[in-house]
Every structure is written in structure tokens, then in C-alpha cells.
Amino acid sequence: MSIKTSLIAILAGSLAVSAIAEPQQPSQPSAAEMQAQALPIVKRFGATLKPQLQAAVKSGGFAHAINVCADIAPAIAAQISQDTGWTVKRVSLKARNPNAVPDAYERGVLEDFERRKAEGEAVAALNDGQWQDGRYRFMKAQGVEGLCLNCHGSNLAPPVVKALSERYPQDRATGYAVGDIRGAISLIAPE
């Protein structure tokens, strides 16, 4: 066997051993695959919260409904997080709850949502998903509907103003109009 043939055999053997010795990294799911997992979680959150909010309005008025957004919405997010492994939370550029202040990624996406809305994109269509530091993050915009204006609009009833000032003395989440972006549901995939 020639030196050239011997070197080729050694090199081929070395490559085969290193290929066996090094475990293959699992391929990262595509953004489309991850979004397909994220969207039902967002829908579940809304489908769980909205009826509870409507029931609270019916039973005790809008001032009573503030407690649903303050206490029940975070509990719903926590339960969905536990059930799915995804971190679920609400964020806003004009946060009412101090726990809803966006991180840098979320702030950037919310600002991008505002830009896209100003360019004519429908609020209901606004979402963003991307890999960041090895984890998939997804956000879906929450648009302001007529019902929302009772606690987030400009002309609030005195009982609502009182309840908000007691519960959220630093509240910034008013002055919205129908069609505005109230914030977003923000998800982080499990590791």
C-alpha cells in the first residue's frame, strides 16, 4: 500500500470515528412549526379569560371586572404555562400591572406592531415569532375592542376610576380607542 493510500485510509477512519463519537445535535424546529404550537396557546388564553371577564361585568360591573384582569388573568396564564411548558404572560407599552412591563425583546416587538399598524396592517394579524438565545419566542397583539374601553378608554365611570386608582396607583393603561394595540400575549417555548 502506498503512503498516499495509507494516509487516505487513516483520514477516512478518523472521520468515521469522529462522526460516531460526536452526538448529532437535534435540529431546531422551524419558526412555522413553533408558531403552530404557539397560536393555540394564545387562543386558549383568550378563550378562557374573555368569558370570565364578561361574567364579572354582568355580576358586578366594570369596577368588579378589574379584579378579573388583575387576579384571574395571571392565574390563567400560570395554569396554561404549567399545562404546556410555555411561559405565558401579557405585556404592554402602557402597562397597568407592573408585572406586564415588557423586556427588551417584547418592547421591540410591541414598537414594531405599532409601526406595522400605522402602515395599515390589521391588528388581528400582528404576530412575531423568532428564536432568541436558543428559545423560541412568540407574541400576538391584543387589539382594543369596545368592551375594553370601559376600563381602558378615555371616559371612565367614577367607580372604575376609583377601583383603578386603588388597585393601580401608577396606572398608564387608559386613553385607548377601538382598534388600538392594548399590548400582546407573550410566549416563551420550553427549553
Give the domain ranges of the chain: 29-188
Quick count: other Cβ atoms within 10 Å of Cβ 108?
13
What pTM does this model have?
0.83
Residue among 77, 82, 36, 78 nearest 184 (CA): 77
Rounded Cα distance, 147 and 163, in Å: 17
- How far CA 56 is from CA of 60, 66, 91, 96, 121, in Å, comes to 6, 9, 22, 19, 32
Residues 30-44: what's their mean pLDDT?
Answer: 96
Place of cell 396554561: 80
Rounded Cα distance, 188 and 130, in Å: 10
Q: Which of the four pLDDT bands, split at 50, 70 and 90, describes residue 27?
A: confident
What cell numbers appear for 70 in the block? 388583575
Judged by phi (left if over 0) then psi (alpha if -120 to 50, else beta), residue 133 lies in: left
Q: Is the pLDDT of residue 8 over 70?
A: no
Q: Is the pLDDT of residue 90 over 90?
A: yes
Would you call 119 helix, strand, or coil by DSSP? Answer: coil
What cell numbers appear for 133 in the block? 438565545
Q: What is the pLDDT of residue 14?
A: 55
Rounded Cα distance, 114 and 19, in Å: 48
Rounded Cα distance, 173 and 101, in Å: 11
| % the chain with pLDDT above 90 | 82
